Amino acid sequence: MPEAQPNAAFGERDLRDLTRAKILLENPGLTARLANLLGQPLEKGFAMLPKEWSDKVQHAVRIALLQALEIAVVTIKGTKRRRSSEIIHKVMVGASGGIGGAFGLLALPIELPVSTTIMLRSIAEIARDEGHQLESIQTKLSCLEVFALGGRNKNDDAAESSYWAVRAALSKAVSDAAAYFAEKGLMERSAPAIVRLISSIASRFGVVVSEQLAAKAIPVIGAAGGSMINLLFLDHFQDMARGHFIVKRLEAKHGVPAVRDTYNSIAIP
C-alpha cells in the first residue's frame, strides 16, 4: 500500500484507512476486470446484444433500484457493529449469475432485482461494519448511492466520473430524498424526490449492468461464466462500498473538507 501524505489532523490509522479507501475507489473499473477474466475486450459482447437491449437494461435497472430502495427503507436495520458476511453474499450472487449466464437478456428482469437486493444487503453490512447506524435514513440512502459509484454515464468526462464528482452530482437528489422520507415516513414510487434519486443512480448503475450483460453475451460463457461475472460484479460494488463508508466514517470525525483535501493529496500508483 502506498504511503499517505502526512496531515496533522489525521492520525496514522486514519491516514492508512483513507489510503485504503482511495485505492478501492480509484481501482480499475468493472470493464477492466471483465476483460482480464474473458481475455478479450467487451466490444464483442456488446455487438452480440439485440438492438433494444439498452432500453431493456434501463427499465430493469430502475425496477431493481426501486425495489432496493424499498427494501433499504423498510427492512435494513441494526446498530450493533459486526463483521460483514461478504463471502456468503458472493455465493448467493454467484448462484443468481448462473441463471443470467444460461438465459442471457431474457433473465435480466428476474436476475437483476435479485442480485441487486443481495448486493444491497452486503453493502449495508459493510456500512454497519464501518460503524454506521443502519436505522438512519442517511445511511440507507448512502447504501443506495454506492450503486452509482464505478459507473460512468454517456455524458461524463474523466473528471466527472471521479468519486467526489459523482457524490456532488448525487447530493441534491439524495438530500431531497432524505427530506421526503423525513416528512412522509413512507415510500411512494412516483414521488418526484424518489424519481430523481432513482434516475440519477440508474444513469450510472446502468452502465455497469450493461458491461456485465455484454460479458455474458460472449459465446461459451454459459452458466459457470455467468456466475464468475456476477462474482466480479459483486466484488466491484463491495470495494466501492468499503471505500465509500470508510470515507463517510472519517468525514464524521474530521469533516468533509479535511477528508476530501487529504484524499486528494494521497498518491496511488
| DSSP letters spanning 16-31 | HHHHHHHHHHTS--HH
Domain ranges of the chain: 12-265
Under 8 Å between Cβ of 209 and 216: no
Mean pLDDT by 10 residues, the chain (269 residues): 53 94 85 74 80 86 92 72 53 49 62 85 90 92 92 50 88 96 88 95 91 75 66 86 96 93 88
Do residues 19 and 266 make contact, with C-beta atoms less than 8 angstroms apart? yes
| Position 58, amino acid | Q
What pTM value is reported for the model? 0.83
Residue 89: the pLDDT is 46
pLDDT for residue 254: 93
Q: What is the pLDDT of residue 231?
A: 80
Burial code (b: 16+ CB inside 10 Å, e: under 16) for 6-38 equals ebeebeeebbebbbebbbbbbeebbbebbbeeb
Quick one: pLDDT at residue 196? 96
Chain centroid to Cα 130, Å, comes to 16
Whole-number Å distance between alpha carbons of 192 and 173: 10
CA dist 137 and 112 (Å) reads 24
Query: Which amino acid, 268?
Result: I
**pLDDT at position 31:** 75
DSSP, collapsed to helix, strand or coil, labels residue 161 as: helix
